Amino acid sequence: MNVYKTDNIRNVIVMGHGSSGKTSLTEAMAYTTGIVNRLGKVTDGNTISDFDKEEIKRKFSINTSVIPIEFNGIKINILDAPGYFDFVGEMEEAMSVADGAVICVSAKAGVEVGTVKAWEYCERYSIPRIFYISFMDDPNADFMKLVNELKNIFGKKVAPFHLPIIEEGKFVGYVNTVRMAGRKYRPDGSYDECEIPDNEKEDLAPVRDMIMEAVAETSEEYMERFFNGEEFSFEEIVGALRNEIFEGNIVPVQIGSSINNFGARMVLETIERYFPAPDKAKFFRQGINTATKEPFIATCDHDGPLAVFVFKTILDPFIGAFSLVKISSGILKSDDTVYNAERDAMEKISKLYVLRGKTTTEIKELHGGDIGAIPKLSVTRTGDTLSKKEFPIILNKPKMSVPYTSVAYTSKVKGEEDKIAQAISKMTIEDLTLKQVNDEENRQMLLYGVGDQHLEIVASKIKDNYKVDIEIMHPRVAFRETIRKKVETEGKHKKQSGGHGQYGHVKMSFEPSNNLDKPYEFEEKIFGGSVPKNYFPAVEKGIQECVQKGPLAGYPVVGIKGVLLDGSYHPVDSSEMAFKMATIHAFKKGFMEASPVLLEPIALLKVTIPDRFTGDIMGDLNKKRGRVMGMNPTDNGKQVIEAEIPMSELFGYSTNLRSMTGGYGNYEYAFVRYEQAPPEVQQHEIARHEAEHGREV
């Protein structure tokens, strides 16, 4: 592949709802430009983008693929991002390096939640976008109805650049509303000029007027000419539209049938003509020069200091290890030695590649704004910045979605725990929305992901790629145990087995400390030396050991105060061990007499939803023992419901929320405190503990 300079590069993310035609459009663009010699299909599992085993098996995108395309002397880095919400991390990584977006909308399904979310991400990053209406070959496709739906949701800035030409119920071409000309497709995806059909002229007039008004508003001269009834040249129209699209004042709508290779060339032409080069983008990543502590803005200037942003890491057993990078400033060469300021480490670059799906092409250098891949970096991870040591730069990391869905897992085959740990460790480097947690308290390993499907696919990948099998199960809740009243009790440890015996005797009181943040408090009120001072630490050690695993259901104890009141000792047989054991006996007996209860963790849940789902969500929270604390409207017409809810009720909430809101709802939560669990919850946990371990005495 040729080396391209910044002004001849475009970085474009293809996004939208799942199954809206993103990968098919990418495939059609690759076919149009000769990258592939046959048009692959998602259903056949032979597209250039979806090459992962899981993607082929499930027939949808899981990972972001980079497909560089050479077209009319420019390089277009297509970022084919997943549309399903469980893989939002992949889309967020691609979004962090894109300078323009193609939002795919299915003519069959219409505007879906993924369409809206794609738009919101474009708004967040201030990048220009176009809508691509796919599946126009569907006999039930209603283009103008869909355009009106887009306008109702996203505003009057939505402007059809194409109108479909339908003959005998078949999609055969389009009207170019900018050039005011008709086009009929050839079988290879090119077109012949044709007359504009009479039945399109009624829809064409208002669309054309809107485009001309947008052109006129770009300057006073154009406005005067517009009012005088003068025509604009095609070059003037394109120049004005480029500015309007860049500013987000116009969002073009184009059409196609990717499976027939209808429309891909027109999307490529629009990208070339209207989307900005990386150094002209509205969003530039900011950072800091760690040597001078001065701010740094990465404007993709190829003459600037080197700043290479790692936006994605691939550790694939078959493809190999690659760091996908965007040259945010300067020029990166294949023999460079670079510095990772965040990790204070040098990295030697032996080769540079351009990835195209799963194939690699070696390249000598990458200029500012371009996207490529570096193999086998030692310490560098996603989000890191590579620069020169004399000009050390750290660029800001993009905000990634936080994983809230969790499962417990264990090895199906004993002895493979280390293999599983290594596999998951590699996968968490690749996937920043996957998190591994060792829950020592409940003796379980946890995986956190964006949703149930995300975690299911992680388990499948571990089995296929690393040849180890894990069993996924419902995670246990981190309950706590405490007491509600004060009791006095005693414990005695006495043994005689020849020689020195063992003797320890304590009288103690146990009561609530009213501080659930601490396991226990210890105090002694001994008078007259009934228990020598040198045994006090042994008594506290006994309490310390007991609170780790409570007598009620085996959970940690919190909020208890133990006071040593009295006792007795033997001058020969007493020891620290004997007094510790006596304290343990006293604790277990006293705890069970002091009205013991289980405490459950409570989370503060924030659910963000469109207002129309408020009643359903409130009703569901009530069923889950949630207490609604308040509602706050957002700037974009949504509601944020805040509620306190037991964490045990949040398992599976991601799937439930999507089901109730059609995918529009988002949530986050954080632990706030422990509260006494209801009797039925306590009884269930105690019964489960007794079934597994028996009643401890």
Per-residue pLDDT at 319 exceeds 80: no
pLDDT of residue 206: 85
Distances, alpha carbon 135 to alpha carbons 169, 261, 482, in Å: 14, 11, 62
Q: Is the dihedral of CA 681, 686, 687, 688 positive or negative?
A: positive
Q: What average pLDDT does this structure show over 579-597?
A: 96
pLDDT of residue 98: 97
Strand 285-289 and strand 158-160: the pairing is: unpaired
What is the DSSP track for 387-442? Answer: EBTTB-EEEPPPP-PPP-EEEEEEESSTT-HHHHHHHHHHHHHH-TT-EEEEETTT
Q: Is the dihedral of CA 364, 367, 373, 376 positive or negative?
A: positive
Per-residue pLDDT at 564 exceeds 70: yes
- The C-alpha atoms of residue 153 and residue 149 are separated, in whole angstroms, by 6
- The C-alpha atoms of residue 90 and residue 428 are separated, in whole angstroms, by 13
Structure tokens at 460: 């499948």
pLDDT confidence bin for 318, thresholds 50/70/90: low
**E strands present in 420-544:** 435-439, 444-449, 470-473, 480-483, 487-495, 502-512, 520-524
Distances, alpha carbon 572 to alpha carbons 492, 500, 596, 600, in Å: 16, 7, 37, 46
pLDDT of residue 573: 86
**Smallest Cα–Cα separation from 327: which of 133, 687, 75?**
75
Per-residue pLDDT at 415 exceeds 70: yes
Per-residue pLDDT at 279 exceeds 90: yes
Residues 204-239: tens digit of each pLDDT: 888 888 888 888 888 888 899 988 888 888 889 899
pLDDT confidence bin for 498, thresholds 50/70/90: low
- The C-alpha atoms of residue 552 and residue 537 are separated, in whole angstroms, by 25
| Continuous segment of H or E residues that includes residue 239 | helix 234-247
pLDDT confidence bin for 436, thresholds 50/70/90: very high
pLDDT of residue 632: 93
168: DSSP letter: T
**Smallest Cα–Cα separation from 366: which of 450, 423, 300?**
300
- b (16+ CB within 10 A) / e for 387-404: bbeebbbbbebbeeeebb
Backbone region of residue 226 per phi and psi (left: phi > 0; alpha: psi in -120 to 50; beta: other values): alpha
pLDDT confidence bin for 189, thresholds 50/70/90: confident
Note the pTM of the prediction, 2 decimals: 0.89
pLDDT of residue 226: 87
pLDDT of residue 419: 93
- The C-alpha atoms of residue 551 and residue 549 are separated, in whole angstroms, by 7
Q: What is the CATH number of domain 285-395?
A: 2.40.30.10
Average pLDDT of the chain to the nearest whole number:
93
Per-residue pLDDT at 696 exceeds 60: no
- Residues 6 or more apart whose CB falls under 8 angstroms from that of 322 comprise 313, 314, 353, 355, 373, 374, 375
pLDDT of residue 691: 83
**Smallest Cα–Cα separation from 510: which of 490, 492, 486, 526?**
486
Least confident of 98-102, 371-375, 427-431, 689-693: 689-693
CATH code 3.40.50.300 region(s) in the chain:
6-280
**Smallest Cα–Cα separation from 355: which of 339, 367, 371?**
371
Topology of domain 6-280, CATH: Rossmann fold (3.40.50)
**Smallest Cα–Cα separation from 582: which of 517, 646, 489?**
489
- The C-alpha atoms of residue 404 and residue 651 are separated, in whole angstroms, by 9
CATH code 2.40.30.10 region(s) in the chain:
285-395
Residues 480-493: tens digit of each pLDDT: 999 999 999 999 99
Per-residue pLDDT at 56 exceeds 80: yes
Per-residue pLDDT at 625 exceeds 50: yes
pLDDT of residue 694: 63
**Smallest Cα–Cα separation from 355: which of 51, 56, 647, 675?**
51
pLDDT confidence bin for 679, thresholds 50/70/90: very high
Q: What average pLDDT does this structure show over 541-559?
A: 94
CATH code 3.30.230.10 region(s) in the chain:
480-594
CATH code 3.30.70.240 region(s) in the chain:
599-681
At the second CATH level, the architecture of 599-681 is: 2-Layer Sandwich (3.30)
- The C-alpha atoms of residue 472 and residue 468 are separated, in whole angstroms, by 13
Residues 504-516: tens digit of each pLDDT: 999 999 999 999 9
40: DSSP letter: -
Topology of domain 480-594, CATH: Ribosomal Protein S5; domain 2 (3.30.230)
pLDDT of residue 523: 94
pLDDT of residue 358: 87
pLDDT of residue 690: 86
Q: What average pLDDT does this structure show over 67-92?
A: 95
At the second CATH level, the architecture of 405-473 is: 2-Layer Sandwich (3.30)
**Smallest Cα–Cα separation from 299: which of 356, 249, 345, 368?**
368
Q: What average pLDDT does this structure show over 554-563?
A: 95
Backbone region of residue 465 per phi and psi (left: phi > 0; alpha: psi in -120 to 50; beta: other values): alpha
pLDDT of residue 697: 41
